[in-house]
Amino acid sequence: MVRFQNRKVTRGPLKAYQLLIERCISEQRWDCAEVFLHKAISHDPYNVNLLLKLAEVEEKLHRNDKAIQTYQKVLALSSWQVQDPHFQKASKKLRLIASPHLLPQLSD
pLDDT of residue 2: 38
| Predicted pLDDT at 100 | 55
Task: Supply the CATH classification number for the domain 2-106.
Answer: 1.25.40.10
Predicted confidence at residue 10, as pLDDT, reads 55
pLDDT per position as a tens digit, 21-63? 999 999 999 999 999 999 999 999 999 999 999 999 999 999 9
The domains of the chain are located at 2-106
pLDDT band at residue 12, thresholds of 50, 70 and 90? confident
CA gap 75, 32 in Å, rounded: 25
Q: Which CA distances in Å does 33 have to 6, 28, 61, 72, 98?
A: 28, 8, 11, 20, 23
CA distances from 32 to 11, 43, 49 (A): 21, 17, 18
User: What pTM was computed for the model?
Assistant: 0.78
Least confident of 5-14, 41-50, 82-91, 95-104: 5-14
Element containing residue 4 per DSSP (H, E): strand 2-4
